[in-house]
Amino acid sequence: MVASPTTITLACLRDQAAAAARLEAIAQRTSGEQIIQAAARVDAILERVRREGDAALIALTEEFDGVRPEPLRIPQQELAAAWEQCPAHLRRALELAHERILAFHRHQRPSDLAVTGPHGELLGRRWRPVERAGLYVPGGRASYPSTVLMNAVPAKVAGVGRLVMVTPPGPTGQPNPTVLAAAHLAGIEEIYRVGGAQAIGALAYGTASIPRVDVITGPGNLYVTLAKKAVYGQVAIDSLAGPSEVLVIADHTARPEQVAADLLAQAEHDPLAAAILLTTSEALARSVPAAIEAQLSGHPRAAITRAALENWGLIVVCEDLDQAAALSDCFAPEHLELLVEEPEALAERIQHAGAIFLGPYTPEAVGDYLAGPNHTLPTSGTARFAGALSVETFLRHTSLIRFNRQALHATAEAVVALAESEGLHSHAESVRQRLD
Amino acid sequence: MVASPTTITLACLRDQAAAAARLEAIAQRTSGEQIIQAAARVDAILERVRREGDAALIALTEEFDGVRPEPLRIPQQELAAAWEQCPAHLRRALELAHERILAFHRHQRPSDLAVTGPHGELLGRRWRPVERAGLYVPGGRASYPSTVLMNAVPAKVAGVGRLVMVTPPGPTGQPNPTVLAAAHLAGIEEIYRVGGAQAIGALAYGTASIPRVDVITGPGNLYVTLAKKAVYGQVAIDSLAGPSEVLVIADHTARPEQVAADLLAQAEHDPLAAAILLTTSEALARSVPAAIEAQLSGHPRAAITRAALENWGLIVVCEDLDQAAALSDCFAPEHLELLVEEPEALAERIQHAGAIFLGPYTPEAVGDYLAGPNHTLPTSGTARFAGALSVETFLRHTSLIRFNRQALHATAEAVVALAESEGLHSHAESVRQRLD
């Protein structure tokens, strides 16, 4: 006799207020106490990197990764070798992804402004790339070649002169070979075998081996994220990434196997990943748990995936799509899939989401790898104020002002009035000194 | 007998290496120890605001500002009254500034992207305003109507629905009346009488009276800046502003009185302000200190201004403009004035500056008040990676992806290959579930 599979325990709510409260709790699933404790350790690591430089990097890598990374830098021929040794089908896939990501990001380059004012004065804004960017690529379970492409391509499109990648060595002393192959494809030449808060410190302060950069991007664990927050202000950072999440809005047209696969594709990342289904279809809400259970059978990451779904999974049955859109906006999901009859109309009603995947042929996975837009997206409700990593992350702008004699004379009275109202005597004087 | 005026002690260097070292020290003029002590106090204030809400705001304002701000909100009729009571010449000046700032910022609105991929799939990026923005306006010596305009206008141009201003009450219990008049002109209706770290906490967490916002902008003292850093990640912030600075590059065509006025206009802000002159003209380097001394006579802020110049002022004599440009890029000044024969050519060679003021008719003061570009600029060398406050500060973007059947089939093999190389089984499965 074969035991029937247990069905996954996936919370299902019909009450909208209860659903909103649960979504709020899911959004805040990273514990505050854990963060405070980690922050103190991160500060100590950063201080040590600032004081001791490379010696700290080598000692901390030996302590945390069990490998003495000497030399810190990966010889460039190893990148070319990793590419050569990468299986042909995977090289083709990486090339297609690289080409598509490049094509989309090229559209993001902002234009310079040059405006002529009423007196012939020139007012402008000029965009330029940062000189140096640091790219963090995690190790272990989250060491992904797609992370390399999604971070390196916008930097290259921006025109960053020097791109510095850091990634922890694996147990063999070498990073993930497909990560190295992707770096080669993306044109990264400078990679250091160091990860964690110590790698962020090296990029922010510089050491004898690793140059100080202007902006640091890339995902990481809690220590990496806290280190990025600590150095924010001395360098720019892309964002403070929390655990990943998907929210699916589905109506009666959605197929349970597809919804199940999409929820599982989020849950398999991390025990803290969140996967949420809002649906107007009672039938779908009833059939998705069994479809999940069926796909969990033999799943290579079944334990992680099940933990994520049982802790941070949720199904909500909504009266209509307006209710679903309102709940989704409370959560402000990183990834939002619209498996509904008219996804464009629903997308218009959505205020807050990192990326929206429209219709039945757009599983999140196409966006994760190769659709074109960036897969680095705002988590934990930060889509209220942030968007995807972009070419602009690696640019900064400078204002340009050139007044002429006429413009100065025409505005002098107002500048003097404002300066005097603020008690700034020399501000007024700097204008008076230039009048005839 | 009248005592002859003492001439100001203004460091003058000719050695480029010494100049670079001194510029580095000036860039780091805010003391680290002071920051660490203030950070602990700020954390305690933020925690109290989070726990006690309005009660904490009232108690802390009474403690720090000597006024019990009840009610917290300024009645709206007081804003209209402040505008009516504002002298006519100042109203005209504010109106001109408002109009010019508005006109320039309207050019900054980024365009949405909608790209069609090779299989007819749609890839896009959509910009929308944040729902709520919080604007901090300092009290005391730095309570400026220009700050209100420079922060409110880009938010309004972005289309922010709700703009919330916070500013500490003065000794009378009321904020600066010209600040209120400027707020009325800019269309701000919601102002609360609270400042410091407690105001930042209120905007980040929300209280019964003050709504939680999505982005906080505006300058402040060390406590305000540290509070902005602490809440960064829960809300967006514009930047972490340090003390202000100007760097002037001048050749033999520059007039010493104008250079002196421009250096004084920076120094009069704050004893920590920095004012630097790089010149190819020995004669100018010799004549500027006396011109400064002459303009300091009877200056209403002589003590502050003198302290700033003696501590953080510097004149460097350079061999040529290339040397000056290289030194300026080491410092990455917030404000850069080019008082040289060919300012456009020199501006092209500059890599790092928040704003560049070109030619003899463009004192920084025109940019501070009304040229059009924003006066909130990156300080302390952060122009390496940051630019002016802008309309984009109040926008965020959402990615849009809509694949069709053909696009999914054409890319499925590559997505599956990449997903399997990353060990993400359900990512691959979510694509397979959609193939015919």
Residue A209 sits in the same domain as residue A265:
no
Q: Does residue A213 sit in the same domain as residue A281?
A: no
Helices vs. strands in chain B: H and E counts, helices first: 17, 14
pLDDT at B430: 98
Q: B313 is written with which tokens?
A: 């002022």
Residues B114 and B252 in one domain: no
Angstrom distances, CA of residue A13 to CA of A217, A279, A339, A381: 37, 11, 19, 21
> Is residue B165 domain-shared with residue B298, that is, in the same domain?
no
**In terms of domains, do B176 and B52 share one?**
yes
Q: What domain range is A298 assigned to?
A: 12-30+242-371
Question: Residue B278 corresponds to which tokens in the numbers above?
Answer: 């790089």
The H helix count followed by the E strand count for chain A is 17, 14
**Could you tell me the pLDDT band of residue A276, with boundaries at 50, 70 and 90?**
very high
Q: Kindly report the nearest CA distance between residue B80 and chain A, in angstroms.
A: 19
- Report the alpha-carbon distance of residue A325 to residue A95 in Å, rounded: 37
Amino acid, single-letter form, for residue A192: Y
Same domain for A294 and A263: yes
Query: Is A387 part of any domain?
Result: no
How far is residue B12 from each of residues A391, B8, B285, B310, measured CA to CA in Å?
A: 41, 12, 8, 11
Tens of pLDDT, residue by residue over A129-188, are 999 999 999 988 788 999 999 999 999 999 999 999 999 998 888 889 999 999 999 999
Q: Are residues B269 and B308 in the same domain?
A: yes
Is B334 one of the annotated active-site residues of the chain?
yes
Among A22-31, A238-247, B324-333, the minimum mean pLDDT is found in A22-31
Give catalytic residue positions of A: 334-335
On whether both A19 and A46 belong to a single domain, the answer is no
Cβ distance of A414 and B92 shorter than 8 Å: yes
Nearest to B232 among A232, A400, A414 (CB): A232
Torsion angle, CA of A403/A404/A405/A410, rounded to 10 degrees? -50
**Cβ contact (<8 Å) for B418 and A264?**
no
List of E strands, B280-374: 313-317, 335-339, 355-358
Assigned domain for B390 exists: no
| Average pLDDT of the residues of chain A | 95
- Options B98, B184, B335, B375, the catalytic residue: B335
Q: Is residue A317 part of a domain?
A: yes
Q: How far is A284 from chain B (nearest CA, A)?
A: 16
Do B303 and B354 fall into the same domain? yes
Q: Same domain for B161 and B82?
A: yes
A317-368 confidence digits (pLDDT tens): 999 999 999 999 999 999 999 999 999 999 999 999 999 999 999 999 999 9
> In chain A, whose CA is at the least distance from the CA of B225?
A233
Q: Of B334, B337, B364, B375, which residue is the catalytic one?
A: B334
Q: Quick check: B365 and A415 CB within 8 A?
A: yes
Q: State which of A371, A394, A423 marks the end of a domain.
A: A371
Compare all CA atoms of chain A with the CA of B370 and give the residue at the minimum distance.
Answer: A415
Residue A378 lies in a domain: no
- The answer to whether B265 contacts A427, with C-beta atoms less than 8 Å apart, is yes
| Cβ pair B140, B223 in contact under 8 A | no
Q: Which residues of A touch B386 (CB under 8 A)?
A: 236, 396
What CATH number corresponds to the domain at position A199? 3.40.50.1980
Q: How far is B254 from chain A (nearest CA, A)?
A: 11
Containing A397, the helix (H) or strand (E) segment is strand A395-402
Cβ–Cβ below 8 Å for B257 and A433: yes
In a domain, A386, yes or no: no
Is the pLDDT higher at A304 or at B33? Answer: A304
Considering only the beta carbons, identify the residue of A255, A359, A402 that sits closest to B402.
A359
Q: Are residues A137 and A22 in the same domain?
A: no
Rg (CA), chain B: 25
pLDDT single digits (tens) A110-119: 999 999 999 9
- Chain B residue closest to A129 (CA)? B385
The answer to whether residue A292 is domain-embedded is yes
Domain count for chain A: 3
Residue B275 sits in the same domain as residue B147 = no
Q: Do B427 and A353 make contact, defined as CB atoms within 8 angstroms?
A: no
Residue A375: left if φ>0, alpha if ψ -120 to 50, beta else—which one? alpha
pLDDT tens-digit profile, chain B (436 residues): 344 456 788 899 999 999 999 999 999 888 667 787 899 999 999 999 999 999 999 999 999 999 999 999 999 999 999 999 999 999 999 999 999 999 999 999 999 999 999 999 999 999 999 999 999 999 887 889 999 999 999 999 999 999 999 999 988 888 899 999 999 999 999 999 999 999 999 999 999 999 999 999 999 999 999 999 999 999 999 999 889 999 999 999 999 999 999 999 999 999 999 999 999 999 999 999 999 999 999 999 999 999 999 999 999 999 999 999 999 999 999 999 999 999 999 999 999 999 999 999 999 999 999 999 999 999 999 999 999 999 999 999 999 999 999 999 999 999 999 999 999 999 999 999 999 8
A368 and A93 in contact (C-beta within 8 Å)? no
Q: Note whether B415 and A369 are within 8 A (CB).
A: yes
Nearest CA in chain A to B177: A421
Instruction: From chain A, pick out residues whose CB is under 8 angstroms from the CB of B417.
Output: 89-90, 92-93
Closest CA to A76 of A192, A189, A181, A211: A189
**Looking at B182, B213, B237, which one is the last position of a domain?**
B237
User: Residue A5 domain-assigned?
Assistant: no
Confidence check: pLDDT of A1 > 60: no
Q: Which of A268, A277, A303 is nearest to A12 (CA)?
A: A277
Q: Tell which of B237, B256, B291 closes a domain.
A: B237
CB within 8 Å: B92 and A301:
no
Are B356 and A401 inside 8 Å of each other by CB? yes
Q: Does residue A288 sit within a domain?
A: yes
Distance of residue A395 Cα from the nearest chain B Cα, in angstroms:
7
- Evaluate whether A46 touches A201 at the Cβ level (below 8 Å): yes
